[in-house]
Amino acid sequence: MLQALQGLANLKSSHELQKGEGQGYVFNNDGNQTSYYYDIDRIMTIDYDRNKVRAMVKDFNRKADEASLKIDEALLITKVEYTPRFDLAGENQFIVEELLEK
């Protein structure tokens, strides 16, 4: 949704002339139906306040940053109860010393 709003915020009015896009049919002097082509003048006008859309994008980004910060804080300060499976000070101490020497 944020990408759609950013696209709307960046959209600009435009005016372009496209050659040969339109096609119509008429009857000629002999009574036969013939096709003809005409130029299309396409005008795209923005009919909404882009500043309001930009403000919405800014607000969504701020809320997303706040949520991300809260998630990071929760992950950092959450205490985890953990009981080691091995006694590192006991008979496995030689393995730890060997690993530390490397």
pLDDT digits (tens, 9 = 90+) for 26-57: 998 888 999 888 888 777 788 888 899 999 99
Q: Is 102 part of a structural domain of the chain?
A: no
In a domain, 31, yes or no: yes
Sign (positive or negative) of CA dihedral 46, 48, 49, 53? negative
| C-alpha span between 25 and 37 (Å, rounded) | 9
In a domain, 95, yes or no: no
The DSSP code for 15 is: E
| pTM, to two decimals | 0.50
Q: Taking residues 6-33, what's their average pLDDT?
A: 82
Distance (Å, rounded) from C-alpha 13 to C-alpha 47?
Answer: 9
Domain residue limits at 77: 2-82
Indicate whether 87 belongs to any domain: no
Domain-embedded: residue 68: yes
How many domains are there within the chain?
1
**Nearest-angstrom CA–CA distance, 77 and 66:** 17
Q: Establish if 52 belongs to a structural domain.
A: yes
Both tokens of residue 47? 């009919």
